Structure 1
Amino acid sequence: MTGDQNPLDVWRDATTQALCIQSDTSKEGGVTKILKVCFCSNTSINLGKNFKLVKCNHTTEIREIINTILDSGRVGPSIIFKSCYGLRLKHLKSDEIYWLHPDLTVHEVLTKYESLHHEAEWRYDLRIRFLPKDVMESFKQDRTTLLCYYQQVRSDYMQEVAAQVDQDIAMKLGCLEIRRFYKDMPPKALEKKSNFELLEKEVGLDLFFPKQLQDSMKAKHLRKLIQQNFLQFSQLKEDECISKFFEILRTVTNFEQEHYKCELG
């Protein structure tokens, strides 16, 4: 079973994010443009480093851009569920977002959406938008999409939710990511001061915990809480960490649905 073969009515919407437009040169049939497409890869949530430059012209359709990126291997290998992915246009100054229909051409996007603002502060985001009913089970066939979706959800959590969640939840979610990140770490490794200091210096706690949590307590107490919570998850495998992360996050935010502001006319 692949995403391309499944009708979208058996999928449900999820959240999403990543792209940006640059130069042009003349070309037969129209203007050639280079689109900088940003995304969460199967290994990283850094949108500044994860991007693909896609050459296209005014008649290029959005689905072609999506497929070019997925086929390039930049997101990750052996992607099966291509129908999960969508392209979103975001105006960075106003936070306006527009989901781009796969049939739209680059020219239609420029005239319909980018013309709404004079400032060229737009970003195109390649994100996983459609989900199978059972994410963990279905994505066993497509590890790249599973890991990309996890990185996407975690990125959204860290940027939009982490600062407001309960301290205990933020601690658990952070420790789950430490365990997933360091798959082979012994259960009591963080109890050793040198190992904890290595974590702080080489990777940094900011990757796992919101700044508000770190600033709310003394370093010694923070370290003790991390050590205690990490032990709860120290035996979990990577997929178990991902599943548990989703389970806990669902108690504080409905990350599997999109939310929009509406006005009554």
Structure 2
Amino acid sequence: MQAVREKYEKKHPSSEWRYELRIRYFISDLRDLHEKDTVTFHYLYDQVKDEYLSKELTGLAQDKAIQICCLALRHYFINLQDAALDKKSNFDYIEKEIGLHKFLPAPTLSSTKRKALRKVIQSNFKKYVSLSDKECMIQFLDAVRTVLRYDQEKFRCALGTPG
């Protein structure tokens, strides 16, 4: 990194630069990755979650979005009891202080009424309460892989003729 910085930062202002750490290669067995390299596993989880929430996923089924949301909520609140989201004050705290945008993609938030969303999250969250943090993260990554192929990279290219 230092060599890149020395060579190119002199030619371009630092405001044009953005450094990003991305996991681009990982073993396909997520449990094995977690056992062998927990730090990389956690970076992968954060990377996939950020990418999932920032993508405009058209046609994402609401039940899949809710499943992924509940797994992310469970990971975020690993010590939360199964009935904790049934309390209005707890759910209000999540909505107002943390934000559902950290757990659901924007199209799902905008296309569903808050009251209906609250009910479906509360009922589905109970399915994941018994999961450990590790299992939550693995199931989250498995669920996201069905709607966003984060394990594959695609590059756009085009053939052209010289002008």
**TM superposition score category, shorter chain reference:** 0.7 to 0.9
Higher strand fraction: Structure 1 or Structure 2?
Answer: 1
Task: Assess, with a 3 A threshold, how the Cα gap between structure 1 residues 106 and 121 changes in structure 2: closer, same or farther.
Answer: closer
Query: 1:177, 1:208 within 8 Å by CA — same for their partners in 2?
Result: yes
Query: 2:69, 2:103 within 8 Å by CA — same for their partners in 1?
Result: yes
Higher helix fraction: Structure 1 or Structure 2?
Answer: 2
- TM score, norm. by length of structure 1: 0.54
Query: 1:162, 1:170 within 8 Å by CA — same for their partners in 2?
Result: no
- RMSD over equivalenced CA pairs, Å: 2.4
Percent of aligned pairs with the same amino acid = 36
**Structure 1 residues not aligned, in runs of 5+:** 1-55, 62-104
Q: Larger relative CO (CA 8 A, sep 6+): 1 or 2?
A: 2
Query: 1:179, 1:241 within 8 Å by CA — same for their partners in 2?
Result: yes
Q: Is residue 146 from structure 1 mapped to residue 41 from structure 2 by the alignment?
A: yes
Aligned counterpart, 1:175: 70
Q: Is residue 251 from structure 1 mapped to residue 146 from structure 2 by the alignment?
A: yes
CA displacement 1:196-218 (0-9 Å, x = unmatched): 11222221211111232222232
SS at match of 2:18: strand
- TM score, norm. by length of structure 2: 0.84
Aligned counterpart, 1:189: 84
CA displacement 1:213-248 (0-9 Å, x = unmatched): 222232221110111121121211111111111211
Q: State the alpha-carbon separation in 1 of the partners of residues 106 and 20 from structure 2.
A: 25
Aligned counterpart, 2:17: 122
Q: Shift of residue 131 of structure 1?
A: 1.0
Aligned counterpart, 2:52: 157
Question: Number of matched residues?
Answer: 160
Query: 1:163, 1:210 within 8 Å by CA — same for their partners in 2?
Result: no
Q: Shift of residue 122 of structure 1?
A: 3.1
Of residues 190, 199, 203, the one that matches 2:94 is 199
Q: How does 1:3-82 map to 2 (within 5 A)?
A: 60-61=2-3
CA displacement 1:65-120 (0-9 Å, x = unmatched): xxxxxxxxxxxxxxxxxxxxxxxxxxxxxxxxxxxxxxxx3355459xx76xx995
